[in-house]
Structure formats: C-alpha cells, structure tokens
Amino acid sequence: MKRLPNIETLSLAEQVAQMIVVRASGYLFDHQIQYPKWEPPAATLRHWLENLGVGGVILLGGSAGELALRSQQLQNWAKIPLLIAADIEEGVGQRFSGATWFPPPMAISAIARKDLNLAQHYAAQIGATTAQEALAIGVNWVLAPVVDVNNNPDNPVINVRAFGETPDTVSQLATAFIKGAQAYPVLTTAKHFPGHGDTATDSHLDLPILPHLPARLAEIEMPPFKAAIAAGVDAVMSAHLLIPSWDAELPATLSERILSGQLRQQLGFEKLIVTDALVMGAIADRYGATVAPVLAVEAGADILLMPVDPEAAIQAVCAAVNSGRIPPERIRASVERIWQAKLKVTGTGQETNLMLLAQPNASTTVSHILRETQLVYSSLPLQLEKLDNPDDVATSKPLRNLIVVDNLLACDFLGQHTPAITLPMQLGYTTTLIDLHTPTTATQTGLTLLQLFIRGNPFRGSAGITLVAQDLFNTLIHSGELQALVVYGSPYVLDHFLPALPPGVPCVFSYGQMPVAQAITLQTLFGR
C-alpha cells in the first residue's frame, strides 16, 4: 500500500505538484471524454500523476460503478495517495448515475421554515449519505457544502445551491451537513469564501463585484464560514469575486489580504484553502495560465484547483520560489496541510480498505432512496389547485406535454424513461421538448401541461431560458391552452410566473429536477 513520504524527500517541483488538483473525466476510456478542453486523455493524465506527481484529481461524468474503477486506476498511477474530489453538493448521484441524488440545498431551507430540527436532521443525513457513497466509489474529498447566503434572487450561479437566504439558516444547515459527513473519513469544503450569494454575475464567465462594506460582510457573508470552521470543516474554497472594500485590485482567490488576512488571521482557519477552478473566466481571462497560480499561492492558497495548464503552473510557482518571490517555507506549509488532509482520508494508505468499509449494503441503499423521497415530499410546496384527471376531462383538443430546459444536450435528469415524459404519456399527452436553441414558432397547439426546468447552473444562467419560457407561457395564456404549470428548480422563477397565472390553472413547484422529484410532483398534480 502506498504511504505518504517524508516531505523532505520531495523536490521543490514535487512539493508544488502536490498543490495541484486537475480535472479528469470519470469515464474509463478516452472516446467517452465529454469536455476535452478540461479533461485530458489517459496518457496525459497518467503523465501528470506518475511523472509530475500531481496531488489530486476532480472527477465528473460516468456511473458510480465506473467511478469505483476509475478512482482505483488513478490511485494506482500516482506515486503518492491522491485526493480525489467531486462537486457533489446534492449527493453522489448528482454527478455519477446510480447513486443517491438529493434535492438542492435550498429545498432544506424550505423545510427549515416549517421545522428547523427536521431540516437539520435531513442536512446531517445528506452529509452522511454523501460521504458514505463517495467513499464507496473512491472519492475522498466532497466539495460541499455551499455556505453562500443567496440573498440575491438574480444570482445565476449559486441560486438553489445555497442552504438559504439568511446567515442563520445557512449556518445551521451547513453545519449539520458537515457533522453528518464527519462520520466518514472524507474531506468537506465550505465554499465560496467570502460569499458568492449576493451577486448577479456568474464567475465562470466574468468577474463579479461585491460592493459591500466590511460591516455588512461581517453581518451577512461571514457568519456561515465562521460556523463551518467551528464545526471542523476541512477546507475552504475561495470565490472569484472582487471585493473593493477589502482589496480593490485582486479578486479574493488571488488576494493575500482576503485569503491570508481575513480567512487565516481574522477567522483563524488553519486547514486547507483551495481555489475555485482557475479555468473559470473570472480568473483565466484576466490572469492566464501562469500568473494566476503564482498569485494564488502568494495569497495563501494551498490547493490550485484546475489550473489552465498544470505543468506550466508548477513551473511558474517553482520559478517564483527560485527567484525569491515566494519563500520555500510557504510551499512547505501548504504541503504539510495537504499531508494532514491525506492522512485523514487514507490513514496508512489503505485506500481500498476504506472504500470497502464504505460500501453500502442493500438496506442502506433502500434507506438512501427513502430519504431522497422524503426530502422531496417535505420540501414540495402545496399545489395551488389540483388538476382534474385528464381521463375525466371532456375535450376535443389534443393534450400536449411541453417541456422547457436550458440545454437539451446537458440534461442528465431527462430521458425517455423519466417521469416528466412517461407519466403524461400514460395519460395521453404528446411530448415536445424545447431549449434555448429550439425554434418555438412552429410548435403544435393543444391543451398544454407546461413543465419548466429552470435553476441556476454554472456556465448557464437562467435569464435566457426564462425569457423563452415567458414567451411560451404568454402565448399559452393568450390562446387559453395553458392547462397546468410545473416549475422544477428555482423558487425565484416560480415567483416570476405566479402573478400572471390565470385563476383555476394549477401550479406545482419542486426544488429538485431529478426523476424522483418529477414523479412526486406530477403525482401530486394529477392527484395520484
């Protein structure tokens, strides 16, 4: 079994390489790679791990079964045990099919408004389930929870990923998630420091500005991070934000005043600081492949997540050390924190044994499914009015199931087998799917069940698809053909449509978009 070497035996380049976490496909074969801009072919990835000694990998894509094989393959390639991370804010099933996919965190805040204790219980259970299932497939670093306070309804990227709209709710629920996950040897991550909730710009595309004064930041943005640190969170992820009251020149990810001054010194955080992905537009478009990594290390980051060019990033940081710009002790301090994190998740290096310990049996799998279902029911707002059973509706008009999504090519939650399509089909509806790229002028007419899948998504804001949905909604109201409205995702989208909903037209909302949420929502609508 691989063990962590003595840091003194590592060269400077090997130490810096341990600070790099690269993106890779969760699929096993090169021809399955879905994002070639960010996910290297196997030969390149193996070179990074085997020869450069890169310290970690973040995975996306594939099934849970494939991930178990993929993560073991990566660990075998690496000389030093890897941190293997995933953005699984809504459970492992959010990214890897076959595992549990929970409703987004904001659904838990809806429960908290009715029963805080129940909401905290659910948040803890989500944390525990996510950690257990992550370990079962070889993922030892959970990039969750989001502790941003989503107090801006126009936020295109945090949105329902947040645990709520107030610091107290977010603090309580995020802390419960962290404590639930702590039953298993995984790392948890509070993100995105110092708070990405009150923005209207997606930092994947551009640099948002948070204009608030320090007193306001201390009141709203900072408390959830303080709570997460007190709860023992293992890592804090930086936000690509410009906060002029703290640093008028550099975004938080690259700011020593923010990462070292605020997070390390003011909040006393002693564990891992990880950047948000350095390939995101807010950083990559302004600072490039080699400047950003050096600035991030100078700022206090221990982990450079998804640098544009990993090899160039290592060389640039090493050059900064050799020139005297960055003290070698600064690199050593980060590697020591990384070693502490790796000791937590690998113990003596027996990764396979840890994975076996986490394997869920049949009874735990059933309990995870039941928990997922209970969460959807508990967070489902009351329908405004029950739809008559279409079997009992005397109409000469055809029944149409009109589904609107932002991008049909990126919908893991939709398919011919999913309830949003199959349940209406059983009742005689014909399905039409529309996204931002679909012409809507020639769509068929008929008594229409309008299903909108709209929420905040990285790289894909909700504004454009909301306009498409609004046009269809208005057309259906004008023609009198809107039979019912179903919104999956953002409650802010629901609030946008409700004022114009004609009396007598039923409406149901679900935070979740996954198949179990579709089934429960439509069964509620149809009274079944």
pLDDT at 383: 47
pTM of the model: 0.89
Render pLDDT for 467-509 as a digit per residue (tens, 0 to 9): 888 889 999 999 999 999 999 998 988 888 999 999 999 999 9
Q: Which two tokens stand for residue 50?
A: 């085997």
- CB of 60 closer than 8 Å to CB of 84: no
Mean predicted confidence (pLDDT) in 430-449: 78
d(CA 211, CA 97): 40
The domain segmentation of the chain, as residue ranges, is 7-367, 380-525
pLDDT at 252: 95
pLDDT at 399: 94
Ranges of beta strands (E only) in 306-404 are 399-404
Q: Does domain 380-525 have CATH number 3.40.50.10870?
A: yes
Residue with tokens 């564990």: 271
Which residues share a beta bridge with 237? Answer: 191, 274
- Spatial CB neighbours of 189, under 8 Å, sequence gap ≥ 6: 141, 142, 143, 144, 145, 233, 234, 235, 236, 237, 274
Residue of 350 and 258 predicted with greater confidence: 258
CB atoms within 10 A of CB 363: 8
Q: Which residues are catalytic?
A: 204, 276
Highest mean pLDDT, choosing among 144-158, 307-321, 448-462: 307-321
- Spatial CB neighbours of 307, under 8 Å, sequence gap ≥ 6: 20, 22, 278, 279, 289, 292, 293, 313
Could you tell me the pLDDT band of residue 43, with boundaries at 50, 70 and 90?
A: very high
Mean predicted confidence (pLDDT) in 255-272: 97
Q: Which fold has domain 7-367?
A: TIM Barrel (3.20.20)
CB atoms within 10 A of CB 182: 18
| Averaged confidence pLDDT in the chain | 88
DSSP line for 257-313: IIIIIIIIIIS---SEEEPSPTTSHHHHHHHHHHHHHHHHHHHT-SBEES-SSHHHH
Residue 435: C-alpha distances to residues 371, 400, 432, 451, 460 (Å): 31, 16, 10, 12, 12
- 188 phi/psi in degrees, rounded to 5: -110, 160
Residue with tokens 């053909």: 481
Q: Is the pLDDT of residue 372 over 80?
A: no
pLDDT at 394: 43
> Closest by alpha carbon to 443, among 411, 467, 471?
471
- CB of 177 closer than 8 Å to CB of 232: no
**Least confident segment among 85-89, 110-114, 204-208, 364-368:** 364-368
Domains 7-367 and 380-525 alike in fold? no
Render pLDDT for 311-359 as a digit per residue (tens, 0 to 9): 999 999 999 999 999 999 999 999 999 999 999 998 744 443 444 444 5
pLDDT at 435: 84
Highest mean pLDDT, choosing among 17-21, 239-243, 434-438, 513-517: 17-21
> Closest by alpha carbon to 404, among 322, 493, 523?
493
d(CA 294, CA 313): 8
**Least confident segment among 5-14, 156-165, 166-175, 350-359:** 350-359
Q: Are strands 304-305 and 141-142 parallel, antiparallel or unpaired?
A: unpaired
Output Rg (C-alpha) for the chain, integer angstroms.
Answer: 24
DSSP line for 139-156: --EE---B------TT-S
pLDDT at 356: 42
Q: What sign for the dihedral angle of Cα 6, 8, 14, 15? A: positive
- Spatial CB neighbours of 436, under 8 Å, sequence gap ≥ 6: 406, 407, 464, 465, 468
What 3-state DSSP class applies to 526? coil
